[in-house]
Structure 1
Amino acid sequence: MSRIFGRITQLGYVVRDIRTEMQRWLDQGVGPWFYVHDVQTDNFIYRGAPSPMKMSVALANSGDLQIELIQPRNDAPSLYKEFLDSGREGLQHIAYWTDDFQGLYDKALELGYTVGHEGSIGGEKGRFAYLDTEQTFGHIIEISDTSGPKGQFFDYIRQVAAEWDGSEPIRGEIDKL
């Protein structure tokens, strides 16, 4: 438990082939996966400048811990692209969720953290920021607002995973995989 951020709620993996990675996790019994081929971000900002970044995302839970798979879908600047361009693939960030995003965001900046990229999904209550902590920790720290619909969706994913019987291992935009 971090006295600053709370408990780790998500592990985020940046991958080149999201389908293959979902299957690896399914082979370990983790699922079902909720897949979105074209995630719509609002106001995506990379290192202070707008970026037209596009990505696919898959989400599943292992207990209370959410696993996120991210595959960039274009060459627009992002920390995801930086990660892959450096020759790496795999764990890129750990995330902390909060119902007081602005308070945690301001606190992080006051403590000297810098934002590598940020944006929102689904409006103001879906904000996220990736703090550029890779040189310090070897990974990025994400803070994410879960006070709105995104938080409700994350709760739903956790509940479905807790009762999952192995059927429908991938849910969502399967036809776009």
Structure 2
Amino acid sequence: MSRIFGPVRQLGYVVHDIEGAMTHWTETAGVGPFFYVEDQPLNNFRFRGQSSSPRFSVALAQTGDIQIELIQQRNDEPSAFKDFTDRGLEGLQHVAFWTTDFDRHLTAARDQGLTELQSGLSGSGAPDERFAYFEEGPFPGTVVELSEISGRKGDLFRAVAAASVGWDGTDAVRDMRTVLGS
């Protein structure tokens, strides 16, 4: 557990083929079900301090206390994910810490000397759906994300976790938009 941010709650994988990655996780690893959205809504997205409009497909599943996030970027707009794949990398790109006290943890990250890489609002764009990613330094795949889970995003994450309990392997990929009736 991080003495600064608490437990790692999510492993974020950047992939070239999200459908194939979901199949791998559900059939080979037995992790699922995945909740998938082809075009993840983003608001106020900034990469290296500049406004950007990347389009991502995202899939979420849970295994124990860890959420698995799969991300495939669908355009060439600047983002940490595009940088990752442009370097010829695919796989684990970030670890995420979840918080209901975003401002305190954001200050702690800056106090640790972390440099913000990208940020924005996910989902509905509500003010309690903030995220910030920090530079990885010299080790690929060690980007740190802080993800605020006070609002609907937290409800989504809890619904994904609940669906994994006792999952029998059926209905392996589900529409993320139906989870919260949105």
Structure 2 unaligned blocks of 5 or more = 177-182
After TM superposition, the runs of 4+ consecutive aligned structure 1 residues lying more than 2 A away are none
**Corresponding residue number in structure 2 for 1:128:** 131
Cα offsets for 1:97-153 (capped at 9, x unmatched): 000011101121122111110111122111111111242574201010011110111
> Aligned ranges for residues 1-150 of structure 1 at < 5 Å?
1-27=1-27, 28-121=29-122, 122=124, 123-135=126-138, 138-150=141-153
SS of match in other structure, 1:135? coil
- When the two structures are superposed, what TM-score results if normalisation uses the length of structure 2? 0.92
- Residue type at the aligned position of 2:24: R
Matches of 2:47 and 2:69 in 1, distance apart?
20
Q: Distance in 1 between the 2:25 and 2:112 partners?
A: 36
What is the alpha-carbon distance in structure 1 between the residues aligned to residue 56 and residue 100 of structure 2?
Answer: 25
What value does the CA root-mean-square deviation take over the aligned residues?
A: 1.2
TM-score by length of 1: 0.94
Letter in 2 for 1:22: M
Q: Percent identity?
A: 47
Give the distance between the partners of 2:39 and 2:62, measured in 1 at CA: 21
Preserved CA contact (<8 Å) 2:17 2:72 = yes
State the distance in 2 between where 1:70 and 1:134 align. 21
Unaligned ranges ≥5, structure 1: none
Query: How many pairs does the alignment contain?
Result: 173
Are the structure 2 counterparts of residues 90 and 138 from structure 1 closer, same or farther at C-alpha, using a change threshold of 3 Å?
Answer: closer
1:35-65 alpha-carbon deviations (Å, 9 max, x no partner)? 0000010100000000011100000001111
Report the 3-state secondary structure (helix = DSSP H, G, I; strand = E; otherwise coil) of the residue aligned with 1:124.
coil
Distance in 1 between the 2:30 and 2:139 partners? Answer: 33
Deviates more, 1:129-138 or 1:164-173: 129-138
Amino acid at match of 2:167: W
